[in-house]
Structure 1
Amino acid sequence: MTAWNEDTEAAASESGSVTVVEGSSFCISSGTGDITSDGGTNGAFFQDTRIISHWVLRINGSLREPLVAQRPHPFQATFVSRAKWPEGRFDSPLVVRQVRHIGPGLQDDITLENYSGEHVDCDIELIVDADQADLFDVKGGRTTRGVEATRTAEGDQLIIETVRNGQQRATAVRARGAVATAEGLRFTASIPARGKWTTSLIVVPLVNGKAPDGAFSEVGAPHHREGVRRHRAWEENVPRITVADANLQNLLNRSQSDLGSLRIFEAHHPERAAVAAGAPWFMALFGRDSILASYMSLMVDPNLAAGTLQTLAGLQGKIVDQDSEEEPGRIPHEVRLGVTAGLTLGGTAYYGTADATPLFVALISELSRWGLSQDIINSLLPHADRALDWIDKYGDRDGDGFVEYLRPNTHGLINQGWKDSWDGINFADGTMAEAPIALCEVQAYVYAAYVGRSLLARWSGDTELENHWAERADQLKTAFNEKFWLPEKGYFAVALDKDKRPVDALTSNIGHCLWVGIVDEEKAASVVEHLMSPQMFTGWGIRTLASDMGAYNPVSYHNGSVWPHDTALVATGLMRYGYVEEARRVADGIFEAAAHFDGRLPELFCGFDRGEFPGPVPYPTACSPQAWAAAAPVQLARILLRFDPDFTRKVVHLAPIFPGDSGDFRAENVLLDSSRVTISALGTEGAIEGLPPGLKLLAEPRPPLDRLLHHPAGGSPARAGN
């Protein structure tokens, strides 16, 4: 999920930091609520710009003594601290409560409470700075010195303004009763015995002199904002999950809440919700990440997938542009709004990804089976066909039938699959592969796109188009199993390099090939054996790279770490090929790992074996919350339920295999079409209440989708999982 061509991932935030997030806005502060950047990553961000880089509250000339920091909602934090008594009294009775709200700006509601029996006068000072630094500069640890800031203090408001790349960015900070200075705001508070003093610090970002819609103000409570109403509506409408296993219930509920906080809305289509990749550094639309996260969270809300697809369709490539790597039909990798995004990447949208485009088509097909409006599916079909055209005309660079990537510039991503760090693709001896590179999982995603488009054509009655894409799928599967298979090793190459040599490292990527079904049946057992070997399965999850490979490093980003979403997709592949116990072991590992992260899975964690440490070792710069990590437990619960609606065939599959020690599982309010159903399971028994009329419940796994190409009646093959 690396942004553009950074050689390192996101810089670490301060230890003990508190992050609040709403839409694409977020704030990272210390545990006291103060923000001190000093070249670091803390700050408040709006539209990929740091609108607050320094925010320090002093009372009676001193910093506060922290007591507790709580985050009752993703968009809100409460900091409680103790302030110095004016005469330096020991055990001060002055308590400060600071309630922070993030959105299109920031609001801090400050309350000083005097628990003593005597009156007190307090001097309060807020020191503020706003460097208007682009997110990329902050993330990469680059300073923005040399950019002049104009500071205008008038009445109770301070405005800090800069001009960068021809764009005027400013931050207005104000509070009733304050006296603005060039450094910030000052107050004198007179607090009676057992009394309180309150104020609201309001931050409004200005772009070319204009405030955003819904900016914080003295009129209207912050919890009445549109963003808050959206999140509360999300909480009311997602499934209500109860599980006898309290850790699993906590994990699934936390995942749903985090997915809600990571939604972003298009200004011109506020009814559409797409999912951002993750906080704090990826609060933006990412093609691959957003598609996979919304796929894995279908059981929570299929409308999230619909909104993600519709938003990406509006950004689909139209022209050839080497700077941004845009090409007709291509789905973007990432969208940014910062003032230097255009200089960094050739535009606010960057298209350098090989996998988002086929995944886009595959998700449209999957969504069609969930009973969403046929109008939405029909509106996306022309975009699906443009995406398939991109695969033929631009993705397959040399006409060999495989999709390769090679950046056409010096600033784009070197690697353009999900392992997009600069050293992410290497041979078994540790030598890095050179582009053009054809990744194994990208071919699998293309296969899924062909299968999906064939099924979409079948259900619309277009036999000719159905047969065309079914034949393309068969051809690709045959070629893939011939060219990528390593018979002497018993697994698939992670890629073909510039000379069409198989890149022979053992990686988790091959598990994605199981997920979509491109692996020949007779090769599956060997692939599964390697994925479940001690070199790959840590006991917590699947390593990205086997521990006996030359580039293995358990604390690397992509060369031996464990990514929950990656592991969840591998488990889905195990289930698909009928390896039920193996899939269950992997799911259990992730569930147990999550308990060590307080019920919130991070973007990734280190790849040490489970026996080395009492719990999984955190990766220091992992995003949290992060969309596909939040969606991973939902996907794992779904494969353990073996729950698959298929409105195109008028059936719903439910064949649970929950571990017996998980106890009763119940999910109420699950959206199917326009109905809300209740799914219950205990061990291998399951039921669905409230099925829409005309749907038949089948107590068996759904046959793999590619089998439906050859089994129109939907008969189950001998080994059929998810």
Structure 2
Amino acid sequence: MAVWSAEIGARDAGPGAVTLLAGTSFCISAANGDMDTRRPHGLFFRDTRFVSGWHLRVNGRSLESLSGMAGETYRATFVGRMAPAEGEEHSHLLVERHRHLDGGLRERIVVTNHSALPAQCHLHLAVEADFSDLFDVKEGRTRPVPGVEVRETDTGILFESVHGGQVRTVLVSDPQATAGGHHLAYRIDLPPQGTWSTEVRVTPRLDGVGPEEDAHATRYGALSLPEFRERAWRERVPQATYSYPPLARIMGTSRTDLGSLRIFDPDRPERVAVAAGSPWFMALFGRDAILSSFMSLPLDPSLAHGTIQTLAELQGTRVDPRSEEQPGKILHEVRLGASTLLALGGGRAYYGTVDATPLFVMLAGELTRWGFETDIMENLMPAVDRAMSWITDYGDSDGDGFVEYERANPEGLINQGWKDSWDGITFADGALASAPLALCEVQGYVYAAYVSRALMAGRVGDAELSALWASRAQRLKEEFNDRFWLPQKGYFALALDRDKVPVDSLASNMGHCLWSGIVDEEKAPLVAERLMARDMFSGWGVRTLSTRMGAYDPASYHNGSIWPHDNALIAAGLMRYGFIEESQRIAVALVEAAEAFGGRLPELFCGLDRSIQATPIPYPTSCSPQAWAAATPIHLMRVMLRLDPCLPTGELFLAPALPPEWGEVQVRNLPLGVSRVSLRASRDQAAVEGMPPEVALRQIPRKPLADLIDVLPRAR
């Protein structure tokens, strides 16, 4: 199966599975701490599984799991008991495993004899390393990496493989252990109530490079690097209090999750981007990183800065059908696994996405609106303009004014919008739509990119260029509302197919068109009505596809499920066009769904109706934590506050429309340009402290994005 067109789903990691993550490393194990090669378990680094088997036995017997849970995202504690021998009522040996990701994996093993008699035991840790590609592990394909060598060292076991032009090694070491083959062994004599401990270290290396670690411990005092970063993150981001406890829980979890999903450039540690999601997407994805950092911009602008800078450096420069790279195009994802590198002819980036490029420009525009544009204006405008050239040239290959996609090779993704599963774009009768496809939401992103580029031109006083892009935005809006609108159905087509026939499914994508501002005012009420009708709104959120469509399946990935980030953008669009109650219904439903999921929104969940299912039903292989799901509550709060900075025009719009049950919200240390402000809001009232003198507070809703065109040439 081709790497990029692989199925979305992943194998089940088993009941009670525990996932840890730190940077581009993650670890998945069973509830007792063991890792089973037959499941998607293991220690992963840079899209490769370095440890595939990890089994601890005491006196030849496995451990009964008593507890296994993660404290923070990068460490966990497993408590188990040696299984009793035949004829014994129970065992008195308790085993604790304290696991920590920091420059690899550290596991401190503690054995306690809770007995009045001395105990002698043999501890045996069996280790396997298969160096499998992440995609193979995720999807359960058996593809042994050839030539894995194992040898003993002075302190443990070294596994090594040379494959696909890469050298992979993993050292499993403990000076207290006796190494033999694939095993570390210990002989322990414990007095009554006695305790013994040791620490095993696992150090993966890919071409000599390993995970980041604290090489100078004194730099952080007693803290490990993940601990230091987590503490610094908590101290930097805004602090908020909420009178509604469920809201406080979900916002706290989202803040922690986004912190855990940050990925750092080892050569420039100040540059931070965000990984798409744990466990299978701990890498940079263009669309995901842009939307996640866009939605979480009030929390930490550094995510948006790091994302846009990194994507600019990896922007396409040539035409390459293997990777679908084109000049000016923003990548879909970066992968470092062997299968991926071979599929891309030795490359590491895949560019098969149609929406990341206009979203890249939108993010630049949003940073400008928040007053964070200095780096963009000074260093990134060439990248922004290359992206604009891709939109108008390669993106619109047939010159009809719309941006469409068609994969360049048989291994590429069939669908290249955010619904990128193979069956994600269908007609109302369930028939698959054929590429080239022009998605409705992508035209909205392009429209917003044009408006953003006009805003940035106006910011530096280039009224002529600003007017040029504003006029292009207006023409696209007119053409979109003419060609995509289905008057007999009262909603926008999902796409135009290869013959320019409207794909007539009723889908959530048109909610993104409200968000971008491309929808005509007179059509917006019908769009809002269709999105909130019972066949679309389940009571927990807006489904990706109406229950009346031929392809509807509430447990599918993109054809009837509910995606929190999708709903956050829909809620933003509804609020922008003045549909306050409808937007509030979505926000309230998502917070209630998060409560049912333990305070964390997953990547997606099933689209079954709330009147039938009293709790939201999980999607079995949903990522959690996942970046744009974690960013969803932050964006919803911004939407409910109607918080819209536009510093190029010297304005901050703040007109709260909080759901009644949310009570009062207080935010301190909110970034705004070079300043930090504090605000307090309840229902429909707000107060702000620390406003920059050059910015005027407007306690009215900001007009739809489309209306900004009128003021762009006058922007400072």
Distance 1:534 1:188 in 2: 65
Distance 1:485 1:22 in 2: 46
How high is the sequence identity, in percent, across the aligned residues?
52
Q: Alpha-carbon deviation of 1:68?
A: 1.2
**What SS class does the counterpart of residue 67 from structure 1 fall into?**
strand
**Residue of structure 1 equivalent to 2:627:** 627
**What SS class does the counterpart of residue 667 from structure 2 fall into?**
strand
Please identify, of 6-15 and 610-619, the stretch whose mean Cα deviation from structure 2 is larger. Answer: 6-15
**Residue of structure 2 equivalent to 1:267:** 266
Q: Check conservation: 1:79, 1:97, Cα contact below 8 A.
A: yes
**C-alpha distance after superposition, 1:319-376 (max 9, x if no partner):** 1100000000000000011122112344210000000000000110011121225134
**What SS class does the counterpart of residue 648 from structure 2 fall into?**
coil
**Residue of structure 2 equivalent to 1:41:** 40
**What SS class does the counterpart of residue 593 from structure 2 fall into?**
helix
**Residue of structure 1 equivalent to 2:20:** 20
Aligned AA (1:126): L
Distance 1:281 1:18 in 2: 14
**C-alpha distance after superposition, 1:416-458 (max 9, x if no partner):** 0000000000000000000000000111100000000001101
Number of aligned residues: 713
Q: How does 1:564-603 map to 2 (within 5 A)?
A: 564-603=564-603
Query: Aligned pair in 2 of structure 1 residues 86, 141: CA closer, same or farther (>3 Å)?
Result: closer
Are 1:606 and 2:606 matched, yes or no? yes
Distance 1:379 1:446 in 2: 22
Aligned AA (2:198): T
Q: Check conservation: 1:43, 1:51, Cα contact below 8 A.
A: yes
Q: How does 1:194-273 map to 2 (within 5 A)?
A: 194-209=193-208, 211-214=210-213, 224-273=223-272
**What SS class does the counterpart of residue 468 from structure 2 fall into?**
helix
Query: Aligned pair in 2 of structure 1 residues 224, 377: CA closer, same or farther (>3 Å)?
Result: farther
**Residue of structure 2 equivalent to 1:708:** 708
Q: Check conservation: 1:440, 1:509, Cα contact below 8 A.
A: yes
Are 1:678 and 2:659 matched, yes or no? no
**C-alpha distance after superposition, 1:292-324 (max 9, x if no partner):** 011111111111111110110010000110000
**C-alpha distance after superposition, 1:222-243 (max 9, x if no partner):** 9733233112211222222221
Distance 1:597 1:641 in 2: 25
**Residue of structure 1 equivalent to 2:111:** 112
Distance 2:596 2:509 in 1: 26
Are 1:121 and 2:114 matched, yes or no? no
Q: How does 1:368-379 map to 2 (within 5 A)?
A: 368-372=368-372, 374-379=374-379
**What SS class does the counterpart of residue 272 from structure 2 fall into?**
strand
**C-alpha distance after superposition, 1:652-679 (max 9, x if no partner):** 2211111222222112222223433222
Query: Aligned pair in 2 of structure 1 residues 568, 212: CA closer, same or farther (>3 Å)?
Result: closer
Q: Alpha-carbon deviation of 1:647?
A: 2.0
Aligned AA (1:17): A
Query: Aligned pair in 2 of structure 1 residues 3, 494: CA closer, same or farther (>3 Å)?
Result: farther
Are 1:155 and 2:145 matched, yes or no? no
**Residue of structure 1 equivalent to 2:181:** 182
**Residue of structure 2 equivalent to 1:136:** 135
Please identify, of 657-666 and 519-528, the stretch whose mean Cα deviation from structure 2 is larger. Answer: 657-666
**Residue of structure 2 equivalent to 1:83:** 82
**C-alpha distance after superposition, 1:485-524 (max 9, x if no partner):** 1011010100000000000000000000000110001111
Query: Aligned pair in 2 of structure 1 residues 195, 583: CA closer, same or farther (>3 Å)?
Result: same
**C-alpha distance after superposition, 1:215-271 (max 9, x if no partner):** 799999997332331122112222222211111100011001000100101222211
Q: TM-score scaled by structure 2?
A: 0.96
Q: Alpha-carbon deviation of 1:13?
A: 2.2
Are 1:663 and 2:663 matched, yes or no? yes
Q: Check conservation: 2:93, 2:111, Cα contact below 8 A.
A: yes
Distance 1:190 1:260 in 2: 43
Distance 2:208 2:509 in 1: 48
Query: Aligned pair in 2 of structure 1 residues 657, 164: CA closer, same or farther (>3 Å)?
Result: same
Q: Check conservation: 2:13, 2:30, Cα contact below 8 A.
A: no
**Residue of structure 2 equivalent to 1:695:** 695
Q: Check conservation: 1:277, 1:284, Cα contact below 8 A.
A: yes
Aligned AA (1:441): E
**What SS class does the counterpart of residue 480 from structure 2 fall into?**
helix
Distance 1:520 1:449 in 2: 17
Distance 2:246 2:212 in 1: 40
Q: Alpha-carbon deviation of 1:693?
A: 3.6
**Residue of structure 1 equivalent to 2:552:** 552
Distance 1:640 1:211 in 2: 43
**Residue of structure 2 equivalent to 1:720:** none
Are 1:72 and 2:108 matched, yes or no? no
**Residue of structure 2 equivalent to 1:302:** 301
Distance 1:546 1:213 in 2: 46
Give RMSD over aligned pairs. Answer: 2.1
Aligned AA (2:607): G
Q: Check conservation: 1:354, 1:442, Cα contact below 8 A.
A: yes
**What SS class does the counterpart of residue 538 from structure 2 fall into?**
coil
Q: Structure 1: state its 5+ residue gaps.
A: 716-722
Please identify, of 321-330 and 178-187, the stretch whose mean Cα deviation from structure 2 is larger. Answer: 178-187
Distance 1:540 1:366 in 2: 29
Query: Aligned pair in 2 of structure 1 residues 221, 137: CA closer, same or farther (>3 Å)?
Result: farther
Distance 1:698 1:627 in 2: 31
**Residue of structure 1 equivalent to 2:537:** 537
Q: Check conservation: 1:134, 1:338, Cα contact below 8 A.
A: yes
Query: Aligned pair in 2 of structure 1 residues 457, 376: CA closer, same or farther (>3 Å)?
Result: closer
**Residue of structure 1 equivalent to 2:289:** 290
Aligned AA (1:106): L
Query: Aligned pair in 2 of structure 1 residues 221, 573: CA closer, same or farther (>3 Å)?
Result: closer
Please identify, of 220-229 and 536-545, the stretch whose mean Cα deviation from structure 2 is larger. Answer: 220-229
Q: Check conservation: 1:60, 1:84, Cα contact below 8 A.
A: no
Q: Alpha-carbon deviation of 1:126?
A: 0.4
Q: How does 1:457-606 map to 2 (within 5 A)?
A: 457-606=457-606
Q: Alpha-carbon deviation of 1:121?
A: 2.1
**What SS class does the counterpart of residue 522 from structure 2 fall into?**
helix
**Residue of structure 2 equivalent to 1:447:** 447
**What SS class does the counterpart of residue 709 from structure 1 fall into?**
helix
Q: Alpha-carbon deviation of 1:3?
A: 7.2
Q: Alpha-carbon deviation of 1:177?
A: 0.6
Q: Check conservation: 1:345, 1:412, Cα contact below 8 A.
A: no
Aligned AA (1:29): S
Distance 1:519 1:118 in 2: 78
Query: Aligned pair in 2 of structure 1 residues 240, 510: CA closer, same or farther (>3 Å)?
Result: same
**Residue of structure 2 equivalent to 1:718:** none
Are 1:406 and 2:406 matched, yes or no? yes
Q: Alpha-carbon deviation of 1:211?
A: 4.4
Q: Alpha-carbon deviation of 1:146?
A: 5.9
**C-alpha distance after superposition, 1:60-111 (max 9, x if no partner):** 2111111112211111111111225789753333222211112432111111
Query: Aligned pair in 2 of structure 1 residues 215, 137: CA closer, same or farther (>3 Å)?
Result: farther
Distance 2:66 2:184 in 1: 24
Q: Check conservation: 1:493, 1:506, Cα contact below 8 A.
A: yes
Q: Check conservation: 2:214, 2:225, Cα contact below 8 A.
A: no
Query: Aligned pair in 2 of structure 1 residues 119, 220: CA closer, same or farther (>3 Å)?
Result: farther
Aligned AA (1:18): V
Query: Aligned pair in 2 of structure 1 residues 694, 220: CA closer, same or farther (>3 Å)?
Result: closer
Aligned AA (2:48): T
Distance 1:65 1:92 in 2: 10
Distance 2:79 2:218 in 1: 25
Q: Structure 2: state its 5+ residue gaps.
A: none
Distance 1:244 1:208 in 2: 51
**What SS class does the counterpart of residue 390 from structure 1 fall into?**
helix
